[in-house]
Amino acid sequence: MAKHFFTEIDQIKKEILALSALVEENVQLAIKALHERNDKLAKEVIKQDDIIDQKEVEIEEECLKVMALHQPVAVDLRFLVSVLKINNDLERVGDLAVNIANKASYFSRHPEITIPIDFGEIANKTKLMLKLSLDAFVNLDAELARQVCVMDEEVDRMKREAKSYIRKNINNDFDLGDRLYSVCRNLERISDMATNIAEDVVYMVEGRIIRHRAQDD
């Protein structure tokens, strides 16, 4: 293929890696804002999301342009298809970070409200899954990507336990219970997106679609 095709591919790689770093940082800030009830941090997350949205559109347009002009095959086609999917997942993770930031902003305005759940464990596991999925993407590490997929069930279990706790112990305050459950749900959805990214890494590297399949198939 023409030299400029590979130049365009390299540019897409740089752009998607930059977006990955920005999204990962925004998730960390959103969780920190919630933990600290820090409205300033929450607003920073919300502001950054506009940049994430714009970058997501730019990357998608660039991928589609390269596919239309060069009609890549094999490894190059798998790369572009995977980037399109990962790009979309990253944008969705950004939206979920905003949702958490909005809850952080609310709790910052209501210091009298006690948060009876420690989100530390599920938040740390979610951040780890996102970090490892992006590490797998950067390093094209299919084995690490598979490890991320296995971790998703643990986050699902944590969410179920948190939901059960909320239902049993905060049934006298529906509004608080709903906000707490929303945080759990958003963290779980971020872990789901991390799993999607990991699955796309396996496809990119091996050409195998592992979605909906047992890991030992």
User: For 118-128, what is the mean pLDDT?
Assistant: 93
pTM assigned to the model: 0.93
Domain boundaries, the chain: 3-206
* Cα 86 from Cα 206, distance rounded (Å): 16
pLDDT score recorded for residue 172: 76
* Res 217: pLDDT: 46
Q: Mean per-residue pLDDT for 190-198?
A: 97
Instruction: Tell me the pLDDT tens digit for each residue of 152-167.
Output: 999 999 989 988 888 8
Task: Give 56-86 pLDDT, tens digit per residue.
Answer: 999 999 999 999 999 999 999 999 999 999 9
Closest CA to 179 of 109, 125, 89, 129: 109
Give me the pLDDT at residue 213, please: 64
Mean pLDDT confidence for 13-34:
97
Who has greater pLDDT, 27 or 211? 27
Nearest to 193 by CA among 90, 73, 51: 90
* pLDDT reported for residue 216: 47
Give mean pLDDT, residues 97-110.
96
Residues above pLDDT 90, as percent of the chain:
81
Q: Which CATH number fits domain 3-206: 1.20.120.550, 3.90.550.10, 1.20.58.220, 3.30.1540.10?
A: 1.20.58.220
Q: Is the pLDDT of residue 96 over 90?
A: yes
Distances (CA, A) of 33 to 30, 42, 100, 148, 170: 5, 6, 9, 25, 23
Both structure tokens of 191: 């872990």
